[in-house]
Structure 1
Amino acid sequence: MAVDIVISIAAKIGEYLVAPIGRRLGYLLCYKCNTEDFRKKVENLKTEGAAVQLRVEAAERNGEVIFPNVQVWLTRVNKITEVFDEVQANKRFHIGVSWPAPPVFEARKLIFEKIMEALKDDQINMIGICGMGGVGKTTLVKEVAKQAEDHKDQFDEVVMAVVSQTPNFIKIQDEIADKLGLKFDVNSESGRARKLFARLTQKKRILVILDDIWERVELEAIGIPSGANHKGCKIVLISRKKDVCYQMGIKEPFSINILSEQEAWTLFSKMAGDSVYSPLPRPTAVEVAKECGGLPLAIAVVARALRNKDLSFWLDALNRLRKSIQENEVSLALELSYTHLESEEAKNFFLLCSLFPEDDDIAIEDLLKYGIEGHREEYVRIHDVVRDVAISIASKENRAFLVKAGWGLKEWPKEDTYEPYTAISIMSNDIHELPDGLECPNLQILFLDGNRPSFQFPENFFLGMENLKVLKMSGIHFLSLPPSLRYLKNLRTLCLDGCSLKDISIVRELKKLQVLSVSNSDIKELPKEMGMLTHLRLLDLRRCEQLAVIQPDVIANLSQLEGLYMSDKFDKWEIEGQQNQRSNASLVELNHLSRLTVLETHIPDANLLPEDSLFHNLSRFRISIGTRFEGYEEVPNCLSLKFHVSTPQKNGVNVLLKKAKHLQLREMKGLKSIIYGLDREGFPNLRRLDVRACHEVEYVFNATEGVSPGKLDSVVSSGQEVQEAEEEKEEGEKLNKMSKEAEKAEEEVEREENVSAQAIQQEISELVEEEA
C-alpha cells in the first residue's frame, strides 16, 4: 500500500484519458445498426459538433482562419441533429425506430416535472429535495440543471456547488465563481462573499444548486442572494435530512424515495447486462436485485460487480447481502463490489481515493503521481457514501485510515494512539502547528496538503514514522525542509508541489525515493546532491518558473528515471563539453536514461540537440524546440518546432514526428510541403496540425508525393501560409463520391427492411447530400 499502489494500473487508467475525436459523418449514417446505437451515434455527433464549435470559436478569438470544410461540416451536423430532434419531438420514430423510457425514469418523472414547474413559479425562490444517501438525489438534480441550461429563456446562468458535511465556504465560493468565470481579487471570506453577491445579482435570472447540505447554511455568508435580496435568484437545496430543508425555510421539500421492485429490477438488469439471463437462473438475479433495497447506487454497484461473473459469484453475493440485512444496503453493495475487484492494485486505488476531502475533485495527476505514467489535468470524484465505505473497509482490513480532510480543524486531531494507522490525511484544514514525538510505526501514507502555508514542523516530527512511504506536503512555505526528513529511510514518494523551497539538498538522505514532485514551486536550483537519488523513477519540475540551474550530471546520474517533467521556462541547456566548462545540464545527459519513456521539456535551439537520438523510447511527450508550446495541455504527444528544415536530420526529431499527435510549426524555414518536407514517410499518429508564420509553406500534403496525413483531424493556420493542393481536393471529391454511393446503397437495404425507419433516414440523408 505504498508507491506501488497504482504503478501497475497507471497505464490502464492513462488509456482512458484520451478520447477519440473527429469521427466522420458517415459514422452517423449506419442504417443497419439497432435503434439504441443510432440514438447514441446522433448524440455523439451532437457532442463532437459542440466540441468542434468551441475549438472554432477559440481559434477565431486568436485571429485564426477556419477552413471552409470545417464550417461545412458544422452546418451539416446542425441540420442533421435538428431533424433528429424534430422527429423525436413529434414521435415520428415508429416500428423499429422507437424505444420506451425505462420505468426507473418514469417513476421519478412526476417529481422532476413538479420541480421544473416550481422553478417557473415567481412566488417560489427556494426548493428543497431530500432523501437517503444513494437514492439518486444528485442525479435527478443534475438533470434539472441540464434542462434549465437548455432553456435559456428561463435562466441566464445555472451554477452548482457541493456543501458537504463540513462546509468550507472558500471552496464553495470558488466552485460557484469558477462556473461564472469570476476571479477573486480579495482573500477574506467576507470580501469574497461581497464580490460573489454582486456578481450573482448582476444576472436577472440565475439558478443556484447547493448539494449535500447537512445543516442550516447562511447563504449570505457565502455570497448567495435569496428572497428579497434578489427575487430572480432561484435556489435548489439537496439534503439527506428533511429537517434541514425546514430549517432553511422550505415548507414542502420534495422527497426522493427508493425504487419499486420492478423499477429496481429494470435498472439492475440494464447494469448487469446478459449476466441476468445466463449462466444463472433468473430468480437468483431477481433476489440479488431485491437485496439492494431499492437504492440506485447500490443496484448499480452490485450489478456492475457481478457482470459476466459465474453462478458461484452470484450466490456468494446473495448470501452476503442476506446475512447483513441490518446494515446499510449501499455500504453492503460497495463492500461486495470491492471484494469482487480482480486485483489488489484496483482495491488499493479505490482506498487511496478516500484520503482526499469529501466531495473533492481528485486530480488524476495526483493519483498517478505515485506511479510513473503520463497524465492530464483530469479529475475523478467519489460519492461521499463511497468514501465513507472505503475508510470503513480499510479499518476492517487492519490498515486503519485517519481521515480528517476538509474538517476545518485548527489543531492536529488528538487520538489515544496512532499506532494502528497506516494512512493519515489532514488535508484542507487550518492547522498551523504539528505535534512532536508522534509514534506511528505502521504509517505508510501521510497527506498534509492544504493547511496554513506557515506550517510549523517540530524538530523530531518524522522520527516515529520510519515506515512512511508516501508524503505529501504541498503548498507550505519552507525556510528549509524539516531536518527529521532524514529519518524516513523507506520513503518512496515525496510531493512538495506549490511550496516555497530554498534548499532541498537534504533529499539526498532519502536513498529509496522513487517519486519527487516539486511542480509549481519557487525552486531555483537542483543541487548536485540530487544525483544521489539513484532509485528515482519520476521527477516533476513543471511550472517551476524560477528554475535556472541544474547542476551538471545530476540528470545523468538518475539512471532509473522513467518520467521527467521539466518546466518549459528552463532554457539553460548547455552543449556537452569538458566538465569544468559547463555550469548547467546538457541534453546529452538524457542518453544515460535508458528507461525514460515520458518527457516534457523545452529546448530553446535545435542546435543544442546531440548527434544521437534521445527520443526512441518515448511513449508520451510534450517537447518544444526553438519555440514554446502554446495551449492544449490536455493533448498527449505534443511537439512544437521552429528551425530550418535541414537542422533535425541528425538529431532524431523524425522519431518524434512519427509519434506526435499534436504538431505546432512556427516560422519554419525552407519548408514547402509539410508532410513530405519534414518526414517523407508521413505522420501516422497526427491529429492536429497548427501552422503559423511559415511563409514558405504551400501544401499540407501533396498526393503526388505518395504520403498521407494519417489520422489528421484539423489544420489551423494564421493566414494564407497553408494551401490545400489540387491533388488533395481531387482526393476529397473521390471520397465524397464514394460516400454518396455507399449511402444510396444503404438506403435501399433499409427501405426493404423497415419502411418507417427508412423515411426518417432518407430525410437525414437528403440533408447530408444537399449540404455536402
Structure 2
Amino acid sequence: MSAFTHAVRQLGHLLSLKKHSDKIQCKTDESGSNKKGVSESLIELLLNPEIQKVGIWGMGGVGKTYNVKYAIDMVRETNSGRSFDHIVFVSVTHEWSIRDVRNDIIKELSMEEELGENGGASLLHQRLKGTRFLLVLDDLWETISLEELGIPEPTKENGCKLFLITRIHNVCELMGAQAKVKVPTFSREDAWELFCEEVGSMVLLPNIQPLAKSIVDECGYLPLAVKEMGKAMNSSSDEVIWLNSLSIMMQSRPLNSSMELVFRQLKLSYDQLKDVLKHCFLACTFFGDNHEISIPYLVENWMMCGYVDIADEMLLSEAYEKGLHLLKELLDASMLELSKDRDHITINNMMRHMGLMIKSSKFIMRDGLEQLEGPEEEEWKEAEMISLKASGISSLHQSPDCPNLTVLILYNNLQLRSISPSFFEQMAELHVLDLSWAGLDSLPESISKLTNLHYLDLAYCRCLKNLACLGSLKQLLVLDLSVTPIEEMPEELGNLTRLRHLFLSATVNLSRIAGGIFNKLSKLEILQMRASSYAWQHKSKEKEASLQELLGLKCLSTLVITVKGVGDFEFLRNNAVQEIWKNTMGVECYIRGLSVCMKFEGKFNSWSSERQEEDLAGSMLSRAASTIEKQGKRFFD
C-alpha cells in the first residue's frame, strides 16, 4: 500500500481510535534486556520470600531453560544448597498427562520405591508437605492443576516456589504467576560473541567477518539459531561457503539438519495457534518486509484480507478493536514483538524465515526486481499473495487463473500502462489490490469481476480518469483515488454501499460531484479531501452534491474538505454540533481563498483555527513529480 495512503490513514486512526498500545501491552517484568539481566532477575526472584510463582516466557530457542538452570545453579552455590529441600525440574511434553508429569516428578525426587512408579496425588502431596521445594515445569503450553499432580500450593509460609517456563504469556497469567519475566533474544553484540565462540578465529578474517555478521543478523539474534549456525560454520575459511550459507538463509531455507530442527522448534509455536491467528502471523511475514510494521497498517491489512469479521453494521473502528485483540494474542504467544515506541511490531528474522518456509510457493515477493511481465502461469495458480512493487513491469497481458489469490500489490510500477481486459477475470477471491503509482490510463473491464474486493488503491495513477467500472465492487471498504486527474466523481460510486473510507486528496482537477452519491454511502466513516479542488457548498448547483448530504452521514468520524466561502463554513459549523455526529468526530475545513484551516474536535465540541501557508496540493504534486522527472513528463499528462 502506498506510503501516502498509510500516512493519510494514520490521521483517521488518531482522530477516531483510542491509543492502541494501551490495548495490547502485556503486563510483564521486562527486566531481561540481555543474557545477564535475565539470570539476575531470576536469582532475585528465587531468593525473594514474597514471590512464590514465577512465569518465564518468550519465543522458542531464546534460552528460557538455560537461564532458569543457570539461576538455580548460582543459588545452590551461594546458599550451599540450603534454600530448598528439593529442586524438581520436569519437562511437560505436548501430549502430556497428569499421570506422566507426576511420574516424572516422582523420578526426579528418587521416590519410586517409596511411592511407586504410579504413586497417587495424595501420597506425593503427603511426602512433599512440610518440605521446601522448587518445582520447575518446563515447556508448558497450557495450564496444569497442582492439586491433581499432588503438589502442595506454594505459599510464603511453606517457602515453596513454582517456576513455569512457557512461550505463552497467558499461561503465566492463568497459573497465577506473581512475577513474569520475558526472556528476549540476545543483543547483536551478545549474539556476535556467541557466534565467535562457536566458529573460532576464522570469523575475524577480513573477507569472512562481514558475511558472518550478516548470518548472525539473519539468525535474528536467537541464541539457538546463532549457536547451531556457529557449529555449522566452525573453522571454515572458504569465502564461497560463507556466501552460499548466507544466500540459503536469506532464501528462508534451512542450511542443514540442525537448522531444520531449529525451524521445527519454532514451528511448534505456530502449530498451537488457532487458524485465524495462523493467517494473521503469516500475513506479517508478507507485509513486514522490513521486519518492523506499523500497528495500524498491519491491523488494517488483516481487516482488508478478511481475517477480521466485519459485520454489515459494524464500524471499521470497531473491527480495528477486534484486530488489536488478535494482535495481543500473537504477542502473548511470542510470535511477534512490540517495539520500544509501542507503535510498531517486529517479527524476528527466524520467525519470518519460518513463516516464509510454510508459504514458500504461496507468497511471491519480487519487490524491486526488474521484470517485463508478471509471474509464470503456474506461479499465479499457486499464489495466495503477490507483491511486485517497483519491478519495472510495463504490461500484464496474461489472463491468469488465480483461485487462491487474496492480495496483489503492484505499487510503484510507473511503466505499467497496459493490463489485459481479462486479467482479473479469474481472481474471485482477491481482497486487496494496490495499483498506486501505475501508469494506467484506464482500468480493464474485468476489474468489475472482483466482487470480494475490500481494498483498492489507485492513488498517484497520473493518467487514470474513467472510473465508472468501479461501481460493481460492492464489497469495497476502502478506496483511494488521491492525486489522480479525475474531473468528475462517477455516479456509479454510489453503488459502493459498504464503503467506509474514501480518499480524494489532491484531486486538483475534480470539479463536479453529482448529487445523491453520498446519500447512498451511508456507512462512510472517513472522507479525506485535503487539497482537492472541489469546493463544497450548502446550496449547490442543480444535481450537484451539497454539504447537506455530508451532514446525513451518521457514521462519519473524520471529515477533511474545502468549502467555497465563509457562508458555507458557517453552515457547517452551525450543524456540526448536531447529535448525528459522534463525540469522536474530527473535521478539517479549508475555506477557498483564505489561508486558514478550521478544525473541529467532537469530544470538546469546539472549533479552532490554524493558519495554512503551504500550498498543500502543490506540495503533493511537486513530490510526486520529482519521482518521475527522469521521464521528462509532467505529473498529469
Q: TM-score, normalised by structure 2?
A: 0.49
Q: TM-score, normalised by structure 1?
A: 0.41
